[in-house]
Structure 1
Amino acid sequence: MGKLIVHQDKVTDINAMISICPFNALEEKDGKLEVNAGCKLCKLCVKKGQPGAMEYVEEEVKTVDKSLWNGITVYVDHVNGEIHPVTFELLGKAGELAKKINHPVYAIFIGSDIEKKAEELLHYGVDKVFVVDAPELKDFQMESYTAAFEAFVNEIKPSAILVGATPVGRQLAPRVASRFNTGLTADCTILDIHENTDLVQIRPAFGGNIMAEILTPNSRPQLATVRYKIMDAPERSAEAKGEIVKISVPAEKLKTRTQVLGITQKQKEKSIENADILVVAGRGLKKKEDIALVRELADALG
């Protein structure tokens, strides 16, 4: 990726320069020529503009020392300590990815009075469960949870983080990614990993017409959200393995500008997203009476 630099001392006619750009990306501001957000980097102003007025330079790509980042982490999505099933699915996928690159599997559990609940995760192939347990984290609040997550990443430096695409995960993951100026791929359906620890994130794009393969090779940690019931959860082992590690975050960092006054439980609704079986009728049905065949199949499948 590159950028345009304006050499103001070489600009002899601002209006003439502005007229060159077909995207209206050049404008006058306080008597100076400036490039706005409409620029497509077509470089027409460099080729046809006044000599030396515009210069295109390639930006230096910043790289990261990948050896400093270690482990595949799963964010533990929960409500009052009750772990969402998507967490177990992601632990199974994290185990597969970690095995390929010989990395450990971590889980990050944020909340209040959750240490006992964290023990359940040790039955699913986790090497370490990092627990941030504080009264300020009793209810999910964006600022405090992001601060706790940030403290974990700074201390442990995981190579990749997997987050369930739940209402909480979809709010939290982008904010964590922003804190570390790194990439985030939403709603992944396939995950793989290269030997150099680059996470291969695959998701549908353009209305599902293509599968986009996304990598973030120049930044860490790598973040991806995954929908519920996309991955397979591992079998629960009878023996608990791994360890629970506490991470303490100063109370002042967990302060938030919002206050939870109360929580109203939403009534459970039936939706196709949570259904185990879908019976779908297409254009093969020519008349209304044919729907009876579909209903018969649905009843047979329960």
Structure 2
Amino acid sequence: MAEYKGILVCGELADGKLASITTELLGCGRKLADELKEELSCLLASDAVSAAAKEAIAFGADKVYAVEHPTLKEYQADSYTQVVEKVVKDISPRVILIGQTSVGRDMAPRLAFRLGTSVTTDCLNLSVDPATKLLVQTRPVYGGNAQAVFTSQLMPQMVTVRAKTMSPLERDASRKGEVIPTEVDIDTSKVRTKILETVKEEAVGIKLEDAPVIVSGGRGMGGPQPFQTVLKELADLLHGAVGASRPPADNGWVPEHLHIGLTGKIVAPDIYIAIAISGASQHTAGCSGSKHIIAINKDPEANIFREAEFGVVGKYEEVVPAFTSKLKELLAG
């Protein structure tokens, strides 16, 4: 039986550079590895990863397994899962950390099945039980209205981690580590899909996932115009971004990439302002990781007020312009 030891981060790249979720996972993994007195490794797979591998060391990795192959330029479930499975079986990590991203949500259950282990998804907090050395995993349940704590006896212990819930380390270019070029024979006969075209989101300004402040609107906005005027003006003042619940996206009032919720983007800004959003669990699951939630709704019984730290009962047409005007005064002064 293999001895499971160490932490492995399954890294993601964005335009050839470490994605922010990867630096967050490395920060979390470094803390866990130090508690266990074990190594932190990172797996990077793409057509070229040498520069990103050095960055992974600067952000805390002891070892980086660098897998380069032309077919790995873009994520494809069948090929990526083969790569991760091979590396995991070679090094037998105690814990595998994966981002709760579109890639992670797709790959993690496939990998868990292949490894004969479990996976706890959308974790908000991780720690080590000092007595058992098992990973203590905290995740939201009941639409974000409660949190549950899990441990698993199965090895390796695998989790996906919500973005913005873990803090990256300060980048340290002097940190020492080892980059290990790793070859994996990808069985192309098992690759059942082919990427024909990649269409990038045409985001203007701050990306929703990176925005410190998000001003989000719901069905109660009544149409597309308020998103482009009332909400955008407030978001710009706060150096933030505009988001939306599912109905505005379904109705075509906003682009789909602004949809926040269980089936859209998962965000965790410093401040989340929910305007004319009822607060369905599908939506709150996408924003419950926010540090502060402010709700504005004309219905005093709206569920969103249960999630909010601060709330204003009133019509957005009256509340938001008044708030924006006062904010302009404060900023000017």
Distance in 2 (alpha carbons) for counterparts of 1:71 and 1:132: 19
- In the TM superposition, what is the alpha-carbon distance from 1:154 to its structure 2 partner? 0.5
Partner of 1:169: 104
Cα pair 2:128 2:135 within 8 Å, conserved: yes
**Pairing partner for 2:133 from 197, 203, 210:** 197
Q: Which has the higher contact order (CA 8 A, sep 6+)?
A: 1
Could you say what secondary structure the match of 1:207 adopts? helix
Partner of 1:74: 9
- In the TM superposition, what is the alpha-carbon distance from 1:235 to its structure 2 partner? 0.3
Aligned CA distance change for structure 1 residues 255 and 297 (closer, same or farther; 3 Å): farther
Cα pair 1:285 1:291 within 8 Å, conserved: no
Structure having the larger proportion of residues in helix? 2
Partner of 2:193: 258
Cα pair 2:127 2:137 within 8 Å, conserved: yes
- CA-to-aligned-CA distance 1:15-36 (integer Å, 9 cap, x gap): xxxxxxxxxxxxxxxxxxxxxx
Q: TM-score, normalised by structure 1?
A: 0.71
1:290 and 2:319 equivalent? yes
The one-letter code of the counterpart of 2:117 is T
For the pair shown, which has the larger CA radius of gyration, 1 or 2? Answer: 1
**Pairing partner for 2:84 from 124, 127, 149:** 149
Q: Unpaired segments of 5 or more residues in structure 2?
A: 214-271, 274-293, 301-311
Aligned CA distance change for structure 1 residues 229 and 298 (closer, same or farther; 3 Å): farther
Distance in 1 (alpha carbons) for counterparts of 2:45 and 2:176: 20
Aligned residues: 236
- In the TM superposition, what is the alpha-carbon distance from 1:296 to its structure 2 partner? 4.6
- In the TM superposition, what is the alpha-carbon distance from 1:188 to its structure 2 partner? 0.7
Aligned CA distance change for structure 1 residues 83 and 273 (closer, same or farther; 3 Å): closer
Cα pair 1:159 1:197 within 8 Å, conserved: no
Q: Unpaired segments of 5 or more residues in structure 1?
A: 1-64
Q: How does 1:1-302 map to 2 (within 5 A)?
A: 68-195=3-130, 196-217=132-153, 219-252=154-187, 256-268=191-203, 273-277=209-213, 278-279=272-273, 280-282=294-296, 283=300, 284-286=312-314, 289-296=318-325
The one-letter code of the counterpart of 1:184 is V
CA RMSD of aligned residues (A): 2.4
Could you say what secondary structure the match of 2:147 adopts? strand
- CA-to-aligned-CA distance 1:131-174 (integer Å, 9 cap, x gap): 11112222211111000000001100111111111111111111
Distance in 2 (alpha carbons) for counterparts of 1:139 and 1:291: 42
Q: TM-score, normalised by structure 2?
A: 0.65
